[in-house]
Amino acid sequence: MSNNREKNIEKFAEMFKALSNPNRLKIFLRLISCCVPGVITHIKDSVESEECACVGDLGKDLGIVPSTISHYIKELRQAGLINMERQGQKVECSIAPETLIALKSFFSS
Amino acid sequence: MSNNREKNIEKFAEMFKALSNPNRLKIFLRLISCCVPGVITHIKDSVESEECACVGDLGKDLGIVPSTISHYIKELRQAGLINMERQGQKVECSIAPETLIALKSFFSS
DNA sequence: TCGATTATTCGACATAATTCGAAATATAAT
DNA sequence: ATTATATTTCGAATTATGTCGAATAATCGA
């Protein structure tokens, strides 16, 4: 139905809005390079390797205060681009694999 | 150089911003389906077929006033997503093929 | 040249986004 | 229990976006 297509357009527009801020885009790209479920994880600069990136990690590199990072990440999640899961004190973030697939095919279909 | 990558991120963020409005996204998708240079053109509903879509055509379907459409299209062009060319009274719009290629590969690289 | 068609620019207003610091909440460690 | 760490929420200020109508400009045909 055409209504469905309408809804998809709204949804993709929402995703693109979430990615329209350079810092949010950087966060998203970083998660793509290290935190796609089912993909070998990235070894960090430090002595330790990490499975995934928590909210604080994502902010450190970008020099952004925690409240702003938290807000960014919420927007990425609301757009369906990432998943979040509390792990103790931290909240781990990862790419939403099905959304990434949808984006991959969006411009090719 | 890393500066280059920075610049690319800014550029892609700009593209996503242009596509973050549902009406602009619809315009972009319509142009993809009919006005990519070097691709067989789409046959319209009317008796006549058209090579490409002019600014006015793009607005008619969406029920948006000309000034707004003109504004939208300017944003898409400034983001590098489309090309425009005056053809008599009308201004024909088409997809910028190299940008489309860049977008296709963005989520896959 | 005049009028019709098409597109752009301008000015205005309402709505939304950006971003921060402060305060609040959740969890872990001592 | 208290403290430290990580994150979220809230309130506020600034800036940007969306959208329109009116005015302006470009081009074609009679």
What is the model's pLDDT at position B7?
A: 64
DSSP A5: H
Distance of C1' in D29 from CA in B78, Å: 33
Q: What is the mean pLDDT of chain B?
A: 84
Residue B108 pLDDT level (bands cut at 50, 70, 90) = confident
Per the structure, the count of domains in chain A is 1
How far A61 CA lies from chain B's nearest CA (Å)?
14
How far A10 CA lies from chain B's nearest CA (Å)?
6
Q: Answer left, alpha or beta for residue B80, where phi above 0 means left and psi between -120 and 50 means alpha.
A: left
Residue B6 pLDDT level (bands cut at 50, 70, 90) = low
pLDDT digits (tens, 9 = 90+) for B14-50: 999 999 999 999 999 999 988 887 654 444 333 333 4
B41: Cβ–Cβ under 8 A, 6 or more apart, which residues?
Answer: B34, B35, B49, B50, B51, B52
Q: Which domain holds residue B13?
A: 2-106
Edge to edge, the sheet with strand A53-54 lists A53-54, A90-95, A82-87
- The CATH number covering residue A100 comes to 1.10.10.10
**Burial zone of A50 (CB within 10 Å; 0-12 exposed, 13-18 middle, 19+ buried):** middle
